[in-house]
Amino acid sequence: MKVKICGIQNTESLQAAVEAGADFIGFMFADSKRRISTEKAKLLAAYVPTQVQKVGVFVNPTLKEVLDGIQQVGLNFVQLHGEESPDFCREIPVPVIKAFSIKNSGDIQKASQYDVAYYLFDSPGGKYRGGSGMTFDWSLLKDVNIPREQVILAGGLKPDNIQAAISEVNPAMVDVSSGVEIDGMKDLEKIQIFIQRAKKER
């Protein structure tokens, strides 16, 4: 099971994620309480070992913003949480993770219009376009027509529900932000427990 820890803002949480075995780490460039500047992401990126993939998370960015992130931070993946089109995704020169907000089964069908590296299924956003800490009805994913090797489950995952989530959905990767935080700050112990439980499951 691959694990992505998203919304990394400092070296302590980055180190905790890497040491606990995170496969992907995410930097928020979109409007979010976890947003960091390109300069800050560049500084943090210097501490990321090569086997850990650096993901830049955006919402309806311009192509220039994405290309700047790739060039300056050395992003390995770009994660898109807005209404980015299939054509826009094809223009991005690194593998794309396209996020889909799942309210009903129709939302899942939208994924088949895209040809991307990973399909991330998330809850409908709250104030922002993700990172709400809310789960959605995982049973909606039972009819998903995407190879499981390309499925990422996100939205409200936490140490207490990660094992149930994996056994119901069987994704290739799980992605978490809020569920490993206390009072809006990444909690090093929660990161460790989350990764340990996710990796034990499969």
Ligand X SMILES: O=C(O)c1ccccc1N[C@@H]1O[C@H](COP(=O)(O)O)[C@@H](O)[C@H]1O
Q: Which of 6, 17, 18, 20 binds ligand X (CB under 6 A)?
A: 6
Task: Please choose, out of 27-35, 64-72, 110-118, 187-195, the segment that lies near ligand X by the rule CB under 6 A.
Answer: 27-35
Sketch the per residue contact string, 167 through 186, with ligand X: x for CB under 6 A, - otherwise: --------xxxxx-------
Q: Which residues contact 99 (CB under 8 A, 6 or more apart)?
A: 79, 80, 81, 120, 121, 122, 130, 154
Q: Report if residue 132 touches ligand X, rule: CB under 6 A.
A: yes
Q: Report if residue 20 touches ligand X, rule: CB under 6 A.
A: no
89 is a catalytic site residue: no
Q: Tell me how crowded residue 98 is: count the other CB atoms within 10 A of its CB.
A: 24
Catalytic residue among 122, 137, 160, 183: 122
Q: Report if residue 7 touches ligand X, rule: CB under 6 A.
A: yes
Tokens for 113?
A: 């219009």
6 is a catalytic site residue: yes
- Distance between CA atoms of residues 84 and 196, nearest Å: 33
Task: Please choose, out of 107-115, 140-148, 149-157, 160-168, the segment that lies near ligand X by the rule CB under 6 A.
Answer: 149-157
b vs e for 77-95, b when ≥16 Cβ sit within 10 Å of the residue's Cβ?
A: bbbbbeebeeebbeebebe
Q: Report if residue 66 touches ligand X, rule: CB under 6 A.
A: no
Cβ 180 to ligand X shortest distance, Å: 8
Half-sphere exposure of 94 (CA within 13 A, CB side): 21
Residues 154/120, Cβ–Cβ less than 8 Å: yes
Residues at the site binding ligand X, with contacts judged by CB under 6 A: 6-7, 26, 28, 30, 32, 34, 57, 59, 81, 120, 122, 128-133, 154-157, 175-179
Which amino acids are annotated catalytic? 6, 122
